[in-house]
Amino acid sequence: MKTIFAQLDLKPWDALIADAEERSDSQIVLAVIKRSDGYAELPWKAFALGAALAGLSAALLNRLLFDWVSPITGHIAALITLGGGALCALLSILMPAFARCFLSKHRARVEVRQYAEGLFLHRALYDTPTRNGVLLLVSLFERRVTIIPDKGLQNRLNRKVILTIIAAMTSALKHHDLNGALETGLKSLADALSTTRRESPTPSGQPGLANDLIVEKGL
């Protein structure tokens, strides 16, 4: 995870964002979040699966080897069951990829969306003269991207356009190319907005959002 975050220092994001904003007459904010929720239930789900599999293994082992060794006692069987559950719970904490196996797509989508909406409000991304701000957020643990346009851009960024932009970023994210994904998303966002750019662009000198890349650990 540290290696992925280190990629972000290799690009002049302020200049790239400023260029995209100039082409699209919008205020674009990029954000990278480590995870959008703590998901306290994931270790418990992993524990339940590990305990079930370990208990089943102990029962089968006891049955198959009954004629060769002494039967597994209840105490040993309980230790095997609890040990298997504890091991899986620990793995879900130490290995994000394993923890994701117990996270439903619906839950991930909802949590990432809620985090993005909270970030939009907390950072006052609505505070633009023409309400032309847009947040593009990547949540690494969930491996999801969400885009939230302010009301001044909602007609220019409909659901179909947003899904197209997200799909363009997916390939780079699958190859752990965070910089590439963000650049693709930024370019796609600027291209989509530039085709519907207003005839009267935002007057120069008006206050806007900072062009910094937001990086947070999340919850």
Domain harbouring 8, CATH code: 3.10.310.50
- Letter for the amino acid at 139? S
pLDDT computed for residue 163 by the predictor: 93
Residues 159 and 129 in one domain: yes
With H, G, I as helix, E, B as strand and everything else as coil, classify residue 37: coil
pTM assigned to the model: 0.85
The three-point CA angle 91-2-166 to 5° equals 90
- Overall domain count for the chain: 2
The verdict on 155 and 196 lying in the same domain is yes
* Whole-number pLDDT of residue 27: 92
Which amino acid would we find at residue 8?
A: L
Residues 179 and 94 in one domain: no
What was the pLDDT predicted at 207? 58
For 36-92, where are the E strands, in sequence order? none
* Tokens read off for 80: 């095997």
pLDDT at 155: 87
Beta-bridge partner residues of 215: 32
Position 205 scores a pLDDT of 46
14 and 118 both lie in a single domain: yes
Question: What would the two tokens of residue 34 be?
Answer: 């480590």
Separation between Cα atoms, residue 6 and residue 158, nearest integer Å: 33
What's residue 2's pLDDT? Answer: 58
Structural domain boundaries enclosing 24: 2-38+105-218
Of 100, 121, 140, the last residue of a domain is 100
Q: How far is CA 56 from the centre of its chain?
A: 35
Do 58 and 89 sit in the same domain of this protein?
A: yes
The verdict on 27 and 110 lying in the same domain is yes
Q: What is the pLDDT of residue 91?
A: 96
CA–CA distances in Å: residue 54 to residues 45, 69, 85: 14, 19, 7
Kindly report, residue by residue over 179-208, the tens digit of the pLDDT: 999 999 999 999 999 877 665 555 544 557
One pLDDT digit (tens) per residue for the chain, 219 residues = 556 667 777 678 889 999 999 998 899 999 999 999 999 999 999 999 999 999 888 888 777 765 555 566 777 878 889 999 999 999 999 999 999 999 999 999 999 999 999 999 999 998 888 899 999 999 999 999 999 999 989 888 999 999 999 999 988 888 888 999 999 999 999 999 987 766 555 554 455 788 888 988 887
**pLDDT in the model for residue 60:** 82
Task: Kindly state whether residues 54 and 133 are assigned to the same domain.
Answer: no
Going by DSSP bridges, is the β-strand pair 133-139/144-149 parallel, antiparallel, or unpaired? antiparallel
